[in-house]
Amino acid sequence: MLTSKQRAFLRSLAMNEDTILMVGKGGMSDQITKQADDALTARELIKGKVLETAGVTPREIAETIALETNSEVVHVIGSKFVLFRRNSDEPKIELPRDKKKKR
């Protein structure tokens, strides 16, 4: 589970990323899920776009892909979404840690 600080950090990284996943009028398919899974393994952070012809909302697509690829939805805005999944073998992104308040 990502904290709000980690989500903000990942959103800032995603701004510089290219959109590599497109969902069109065909909607969700096994091919899109496989493409997302492979990209998450290689990159950890991916940005996708849902075209108007898809017939489903970007939130629905993002949550479906996240569920099927065991990743987390970082952000959904407009027609774009961002997903994150840590690569346990070769991590590429170092998330900020939660600083707990000491009393």
Residue 65 forms part of a structural domain: yes
User: Cα–Cα distances in Å, from 54 out to 28, 47, 98?
Assistant: 9, 17, 38
**Total structural domains within the chain:** 1
54: which DSSP letter? G
Report pLDDT for 45: 97
76 pLDDT higher than 70: yes
Banded pLDDT at 100 (limits 50, 70, 90): low
Which domain covers residue 26, as residue numbers? 4-84
Identify which of 82, 80, 77, 57 has the alpha carbon closest to the alpha carbon of residue 6.
Answer: 82
Distance, in Å, from the CA atom of 8 to the CA atom of 23, rounded to the nearest integer, reads 25
Residue 103 forms part of a structural domain: no
- CATH assignment of the domain containing 62: 3.30.110.60
pLDDT (average), residues 8-23: 94
102 pLDDT higher than 60: no
First to last CA, the chain: 25
Degrees to nearest 5, angle at CA 59 with 13 and 21: 55
Chain segment 81-97, per-residue pLDDT in tens: 999 999 988 889 999 88
Residue 27 forms part of a structural domain: yes
101 pLDDT higher than 60: no
Residue 38 forms part of a structural domain: yes
Report pLDDT for 28: 87
Chain segment 23-69, per-residue pLDDT in tens: 998 888 899 999 999 999 999 999 999 999 988 999 999 999 999 99
CA atoms within 13 A on the CB side of 36: 30
